[in-house]
Chain A
Amino acid sequence: MLKRTPFHARTAALMQADQWRRWAGYTAASAYEMTHDREYLALRNACVLIDVSPLCKYQITGADGLRFLNRLVTRDVSKCPIGGMLYTPWCNSRGQVIDDGTIAHLGEQSYRLTSAEPNLRWLQDNAIGMQVQIEEVSEQIATLALQGPRSRELLMTLTDAPLADLKYYRFINTVIADTPVMISRTGYTGDLGYELWLDAGSASAERVWDALIAAGRSFALQAAGIWALDVARIEAGLIMLDVDYTPANKAMIDTQASTPLELGLEWAVSWNKGSFVGRKALLEEKRRGLTTMLVGLELDHVEFARQHHALGLPVAYPFLAWRSVIPLHADGAQVGYTTSGVWSPTLKKYIILAHLQPGHAAPGSVVTIDLDVDRFRRPFEAKVAKLPFFNPARKKELL
Chain B
Amino acid sequence: MNNHRYDAIVIGAGHNGLVNAAYLAKAGKRVLVLERRHTVGGATVTEEIYPGFKYLIASYLISLLRPEVIQELELARHGLEIMPLESTYVPLLDGNYLADWPDHDATKHEIGRHSKRDAEAYDEYSRTMRRLALALRPLLSMIPPDPTSVSPNDLATMAKVSGVLSQLRQDDFYLLARLMTMSAADFLDEWFESPVLKGTKSTSGIIGTFMGPRSPGSGYVLLHHYLGELDGVFRAWGFARGGTGALSQAIASAAREAGVEIQVNAPVAQVIVKNGAAAGVALENGDEYLADIVVSNADAKRTFLKLVETQHLPDEFLHDVQRLRSSSPACKVNLALDGLPEFTSLPKGKEALLRGSIEIAPSIDYLERAYDDAKYGGWARKPFMDALIPSLIDPGMAPPGKHVMSLFVQYASSDLAGGWDEQKKTQFLDVVIDTLAEYAPNLKDIILHKHIMTPWDIENIIAITSGHIFHGELALQQLFFLRPSPQWSNYRTPIRNMYMCGSSTHPGGCITGAPGRNAAVAILEDHP
Residues of A within 8 A of B (CB): 1-3, 22, 24-25, 118-122, 124, 136, 249-250, 252, 254
Structural contact, B120 and A120, CB atoms closer than 8 A: yes
Structural contact, B117 and A124, CB atoms closer than 8 A: yes
A–B Cβ pairs within 8 angstroms, 24 of them: A1-B106, A2-B105, A3-B109, A22-B105, A24-B105, A25-B109, A118-B108, A118-B116, A118-B120, A120-B116, A120-B120, A121-B117, A121-B120, A121-B121, A121-B124, A122-B120, A124-B117, A249-B123, A249-B127, A250-B123, A252-B127, A252-B131, A252-B134, A254-B169
Residues of B within 8 A of A121 (CB): 117, 120-121, 124
A22–B108 alpha-carbon span in the complex (Å): 14
A249–B123 alpha-carbon span in the complex (Å): 9
Structural contact, A119 and B130, CB atoms closer than 8 A: no
Residues of A within 8 A of B116 (CB): 118, 120, 136
Nearest CB of chain A from residue B106's CB, rounded to whole Å: 8
B105: nearest residue on chain A (CB-CB)?
A25
A3: nearest residue on chain B (CB-CB)?
B109
Nearest CB of chain A from residue B191's CB, rounded to whole Å: 9
Decide if B10 is an interface residue (CB 8 Å cutoff): no
A250–B130 alpha-carbon span in the complex (Å): 11
Structural contact, A252 and B120, CB atoms closer than 8 A: no
Decide if B119 is an interface residue (CB 8 Å cutoff): yes
A3–B131 alpha-carbon span in the complex (Å): 30
Residues of B within 8 A of A249 (CB): 123-124, 127
Nearest CB of chain B from residue A327's CB, rounded to whole Å: 23
Structural contact, A118 and B105, CB atoms closer than 8 A: no
A1–B349 alpha-carbon span in the complex (Å): 10
A119: nearest residue on chain B (CB-CB)?
B120
Nearest CB of chain A from residue B453's CB, rounded to whole Å: 39
A121–B118 alpha-carbon span in the complex (Å): 8
Structural contact, A25 and B108, CB atoms closer than 8 A: yes
Give the one of B109, B120, B130, B131 with max A CB within 10 A: B120
A252–B124 alpha-carbon span in the complex (Å): 11
Per-residue contact bits, chain B 101-137, to A (CB 8 Å; 1 contact, 0 not): 0000110110000001101110110010011001000
Interface size class of B (residues with CB under 8 A): 10 to 19
A254: nearest residue on chain B (CB-CB)?
B169
> Given A3-B109, A118-B119, A250-B123, 11 more contacts at CB 8 Å?
A2-B105, A22-B105, A120-B120, A121-B121, A121-B124, A136-B116, A249-B124, A250-B127, A252-B127, A252-B130, A252-B131
A166–B415 alpha-carbon span in the complex (Å): 78
Nearest CB of chain B from residue A77's CB, rounded to whole Å: 23
A122–B124 alpha-carbon span in the complex (Å): 11
Residues of B within 8 A of A252 (CB): 127, 130-131, 134
Residues of A within 8 A of B127 (CB): 249-250, 252
Nearest CB of chain B from residue A123's CB, rounded to whole Å: 10
Nearest CB of chain B from residue A391's CB, rounded to whole Å: 35
Nearest CB of chain A from residue B234's CB, rounded to whole Å: 11
A120–B123 alpha-carbon span in the complex (Å): 13
A2–B124 alpha-carbon span in the complex (Å): 21
A93: nearest residue on chain B (CB-CB)?
B171
A136–B120 alpha-carbon span in the complex (Å): 12
Nearest CB of chain A from residue B347's CB, rounded to whole Å: 11
A56: nearest residue on chain B (CB-CB)?
B120
Nearest CB of chain A from residue B346's CB, rounded to whole Å: 15
A124: nearest residue on chain B (CB-CB)?
B117
B106: nearest residue on chain A (CB-CB)?
A1
Residues of B within 8 A of A136 (CB): 116
Residues of A within 8 A of B106 (CB): 1
Residues of A within 8 A of B130 (CB): 252
A2: nearest residue on chain B (CB-CB)?
B105
Residues of A within 8 A of B124 (CB): 121, 249
Nearest CB of chain A from residue B274's CB, rounded to whole Å: 54
A183–B124 alpha-carbon span in the complex (Å): 34
B131: nearest residue on chain A (CB-CB)?
A252
Residues of A within 8 A of B119 (CB): 118
Top 5 nearest A-B pairs (CB, nearest first) are: A25-B105, A118-B120, A121-B120, A121-B121, A121-B117
A120–B169 alpha-carbon span in the complex (Å): 24
Residues of B within 8 A of A120 (CB): 116-117, 120
A118–B124 alpha-carbon span in the complex (Å): 11
Residues of A within 8 A of B134 (CB): 252
Residues of A within 8 A of B120 (CB): 118-122
A124–B130 alpha-carbon span in the complex (Å): 24
Nearest CB of chain A from residue B185's CB, rounded to whole Å: 19
Per-residue contact bits, chain B 46-69, to A (CB 8 Å; 1 contact, 0 not): 000000000000000000000000
Nearest CB of chain A from residue B131's CB, rounded to whole Å: 6
A118–B111 alpha-carbon span in the complex (Å): 13
A121–B119 alpha-carbon span in the complex (Å): 9
A3–B106 alpha-carbon span in the complex (Å): 10
A22–B169 alpha-carbon span in the complex (Å): 32
Nearest CB of chain A from residue B139's CB, rounded to whole Å: 18
Give the one of A121, A252, A254 with max B CB within 10 A: A121
Residues of A within 8 A of B108 (CB): 25, 118
A226–B121 alpha-carbon span in the complex (Å): 28
Residues of B within 8 A of A25 (CB): 105, 108-109
User: Which residues of B from 379 to 412 have beta carbons under 8 Å from A?
Assistant: none
Nearest CB of chain B from residue A247's CB, rounded to whole Å: 10
Residues of A within 8 A of B105 (CB): 2, 22, 24-25
B108: nearest residue on chain A (CB-CB)?
A25
B121: nearest residue on chain A (CB-CB)?
A121
Give the one of A25, A122, A136 with max B CB within 10 A: A25
A265–B56 alpha-carbon span in the complex (Å): 58
Nearest CB of chain B from residue A246's CB, rounded to whole Å: 11
Nearest CB of chain A from residue B113's CB, rounded to whole Å: 12
User: Which residues of B from 172 to 215 have beta carbons under 8 Å from A?
Assistant: none
A69–B101 alpha-carbon span in the complex (Å): 34
Residues of B within 8 A of A119 (CB): 120
Residues of B within 8 A of A118 (CB): 108, 116, 119-120
Give the one of B105, B119, B131, B169 with max A CB within 10 A: B105
Residues of A within 8 A of B121 (CB): 121
Nearest CB of chain A from residue B402's CB, rounded to whole Å: 31
Residues of B within 8 A of A122 (CB): 120
Nearest CB of chain B from residue A253's CB, rounded to whole Å: 8
Nearest CB of chain B from residue A28's CB, rounded to whole Å: 12
A118–B123 alpha-carbon span in the complex (Å): 10
A182–B460 alpha-carbon span in the complex (Å): 73
Residues of B within 8 A of A3 (CB): 109
User: Which residues of B from 80 to 119 have beta carbons under 8 Å from A?
Assistant: 105-106, 108-109, 116-117, 119
Nearest CB of chain A from residue B130's CB, rounded to whole Å: 7
Residues of A within 8 A of B109 (CB): 1, 3, 25
Per-residue contact bits, chain B 483-494, to A (CB 8 Å; 1 contact, 0 not): 000000000000
Residues of A within 8 A of B131 (CB): 252
Nearest CB of chain A from residue B23's CB, rounded to whole Å: 32
A25–B116 alpha-carbon span in the complex (Å): 14
User: Which residues of B from 468 to 513 have beta carbons under 8 Å from A?
Assistant: none
Nearest CB of chain B from residue A259's CB, rounded to whole Å: 16
Residues of B within 8 A of A1 (CB): 106, 109
Per-residue contact bits, chain B 318-353, to A (CB 8 Å; 1 contact, 0 not): 000000000000000000000000000000000000
Residues of A within 8 A of B123 (CB): 249-250
Nearest CB of chain B from residue A198's CB, rounded to whole Å: 22
A119–B117 alpha-carbon span in the complex (Å): 9
Nearest CB of chain B from residue A107's CB, rounded to whole Å: 25
Nearest CB of chain B from residue A333's CB, rounded to whole Å: 26
B169: nearest residue on chain A (CB-CB)?
A254
